[in-house]
């Protein structure tokens, strides 16, 4: 088995493609989540705070922090942490109150950041999750939250979107990805175990909401949601195939040729009105006072 530090799959492909994928994904998912960067009651609570402090763990390109910076006063302090700093944009492209730094979310968190933040936000780390360590991860990250502050963790449903009508390429990919996740020692209970993790780590007022991508079909953003979701899935399959191969592969995806075949089949199957339900499960809880 790979060492736990090596578990993450999505940093092994083309860097520019991954940066583009994360930034495009943010815009799509923001629409799916009704442009609610935070659960509305948390946004309302922050609005009476003259200088809110927010930390994003596993921030990637910092795209969510850059977006939320636009909604907050200039006095807000926004810190993004990630163990891969190559995806960080240059400082000149970030809002002045956003700072991005190296940090491993599984390590003890820096002294100077302890209990500093009103909100700690984490999302889309299923590929970096470790079996049996969900509660320990929440406990570790809660050390950054002020008493009374919020911890938020969002993931795609069942790690992956559902496709309707079912297509062979996706069923084939899902089986490989599941086998590979088990082989890597990943937590395959996400996202449904999130409320349990937050409560067991000591959070109160724990709740969650699921946002359904295809609900957008019935509103003003409906016209291109099918195409946007298909494009996102295709970009994700590309980078996931590279990532799985870079980690030695799994039965059914051991060779470059098998990878190309999966990508070609996905492109072929994702036609017309095939709906990719990129649903998002967002769980939140408060650190007790």
Ligand X SMILES: C[S@@+](CC[C@H](N)C(=O)[O-])C[C@H]1O[C@@H](n2cnc3c(N)ncnc32)[C@H](O)[C@@H]1O
| Nearest to ligand X of 43, 83 (CB atom) | 83
Contact call for residues 70 and 89 (beta carbons, < 8 A): no
Question: What is the Cα 95 distance to its own chain's centre?
Answer: 21
In the complex, what is the shortest distance from the CB of residue 255 to ligand X, in angstroms, rounded to a whole number?
A: 25
Please, what is the minimum distance in Å from the beta carbon of residue 218 to ligand X? 26
Which positions from 91 through 130 interact with ligand X, judged by CB under 6 A?
A: 104-106, 123-125, 128
Q: What does the alpha-carbon distance between residue 76 and residue 55 come to, in Å, rounded to a whole number?
A: 11
- The verdict on 191 binding ligand X (CB under 6 A) reads no
Longest alpha-carbon distance in the chain: 56
In this chain, which stretch among 6-14, 141-149, 162-170, 180-188 interacts with ligand X, using CB under 6 A? 6-14
Q: Is 83 in the site for ligand X (CB under 6 A)?
A: yes
Q: Which position has the token pair 């991860």?
A: 137
63 binds ligand X (CB under 6 A): yes
Query: Which stretches does DSSP call E strand in 45-171?
Result: 53-57, 77-82, 98-102, 117-123, 145-156, 162-164
Question: Does 38 contact ligand X by CB under 6 A?
Answer: no
Q: How far is the CB of 260 from ligand X (least distance, A)?
A: 23
Q: Which residue is nearest to ligand X (CB)?
A: 60
Task: Tell me if 30 contacts ligand X by CB under 6 A.
Answer: no
- Considering the complex, what minimum distance in angstroms separates the CB of residue 257 from ligand X? 26
Sheet holding 77-82, edge to edge: 98-102, 77-82, 53-57, 117-123, 145-156, 280-286, 204-211
* CA dihedral over 13, 123, 35, 63, signed as positive or negative: negative
Instruction: Name the site residues for ligand X (rule: CB under 6 A).
Output: 8, 10-11, 22, 26, 58-60, 63-64, 82-84, 87, 104-106, 123-125, 128
């Amino acid at each position: 088995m790979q060492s736990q530090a090596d578990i993450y799959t999505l940093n092994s492909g083309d860097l520019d493609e991954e940066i583009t994928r994360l930034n495009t994904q943010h815009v799509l998912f923001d629409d799916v989540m009704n442009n609610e960067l935070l659960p509305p009651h948390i946004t309302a609570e922050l609005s009476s705070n003259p200088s809110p402090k927010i930390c994003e763990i596993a921030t990637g390109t910092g795209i969510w922090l850059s977006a939320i910076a636009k909604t907050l006063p200039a006095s807000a302090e926004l810190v993004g942490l990630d163990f891969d700093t190559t995806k960080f944009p240059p400082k000149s492209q970030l809002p002045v109150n956003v700072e991005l730094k190296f940090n491993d979310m599984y390590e003890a968190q820096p002294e100077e950041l302890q209990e500093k933040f009103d909100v700690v936000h984490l999302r889309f780390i299923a590929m970096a999750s470790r079996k049996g360590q969900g509660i320990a991860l929440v406990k570790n990250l809660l050390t950054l939250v002020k008493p009374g502050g919020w911890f938020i963790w969002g993931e795609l449903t069942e790690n992956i979107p559902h496709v309707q009508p079912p297509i062979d390429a996706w069923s084939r990919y899902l089986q490989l990805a599941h086998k590979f996740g088990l082989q890597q020692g990943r937590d395959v209970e996400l996202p449904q175990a999130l409320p349990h993790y937050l409560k067991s780590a000591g959070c109160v007022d724990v709740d969650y909401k699921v946002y359904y991508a295809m609900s957008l079909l019935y509103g003003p953003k409906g016209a291109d949601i099918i195409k946007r979701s298909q494009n996102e899935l295709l970009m994700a399959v590309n980078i996931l195939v590279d990532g799985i191969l870079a980690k030695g592969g799994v039965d059914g995806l051991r060779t470059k040729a098998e990878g190309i075949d999966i990508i070609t089949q996905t492109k072929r199957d994702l036609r017309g009105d095939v709906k990719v339900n990129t649903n998002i499960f967002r769980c939140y809880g408060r650190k007790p006072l």
